Amino acid sequence: MNGNNNCPANCDTVQIIEPKDDLLVDTGGTSSDMDERGSLELTPGQTQAVVTFQVPKINAEYNFEYLYIDAMGDPGFNFPGAIQIIPTVKSREGFGVVFAGTPIAEGYVLHWRATIVRTSSIIQVDAPENLYLQMPRTNTMAINFANPRSNLNYGFSELRVENLTQLPDVQAIIRVQVYAKTLTGFFVAVNPTPRSDFYFLKVRTP
């Protein structure tokens, strides 16, 4: 492994020194374009926030693996209420969000993880998939793999629905069922239909 310690502790990097034919490396980025995560303490009444990356990205085409607020540090155990997060600005240097609802005490923390979009043109058949997809407000959903499968006997180590924004009493328990498979993706039936845009499907293979 590379002994360079200049990378921030919350960035994920891997460098292969000895090339191997059976290991494929993404070719679309540079050493400065990497996934990054962090947290930001909020103040009571705060209605917006700006996050600056420690490492600027090549472009603004990154995704949020997660973006949520918790109140685990609230010493008064105040009920957090429904604080919805709406991204408004994305740039190479960071992003901005506004809140529908505000922190009511100290101890509220915004957590985030930004993942770059891999642009490699190398096809890796049966490569593991790790997807986090916003669900449409329909009763079916089509999921496309980044890399194709060699056959239709693939399974899932994770296939679940998440809503990390709304309170439990306004959420619906949504079930998904795979009803068709192809070598490039699959289809799920959704019941009931998502009632908001805060439902996401987590998919992991194999």
Largest distance between two CA atoms of the chain? 56
pTM: 0.45
Q: What is the pLDDT of residue 78?
A: 58
Residues in the chain: 206
Distance (Å, whole) CA 89 – CA 50: 9
Place of tokens 């947290």: 39
Q: What is the pLDDT of residue 153?
A: 93
Nearest Cα to Cα of residue 161 among 126, 201, 189, 129 = 201
Distance set, CA 34 to CA 11, 31, 85 (Å): 7, 7, 23
Per-residue pLDDT of the chain (206 residues; tens, 9 = 90+): 444 445 454 554 444 344 433 333 333 333 456 789 999 999 988 999 999 998 888 888 888 999 998 887 666 555 656 788 989 988 888 999 999 888 878 888 999 999 887 655 567 888 899 999 999 999 999 999 988 999 999 999 999 999 988 888 889 899 999 999 999 999 999 999 998 889 999 999 98
Alpha helices in the chain (DSSP H): none
Take residue 10 and report the two structure tokens written for it.
Answer: 């919350």
Q: What is the pLDDT of residue 96?
A: 92
Cβ partners under 8 Å of residue 105, min gap 6 = 44, 71, 74, 75, 76, 78
Nearest Cα to Cα of residue 145 among 182, 190, 200 = 182
Q: What is the pLDDT of residue 22?
A: 39
Is 206 within 8 Å of 151 (Cβ atoms)? no
Distance (Å, whole) CA 108 – CA 179: 41
For residue 11, the 8-state DSSP code is B
Q: What is the pLDDT of residue 118?
A: 66
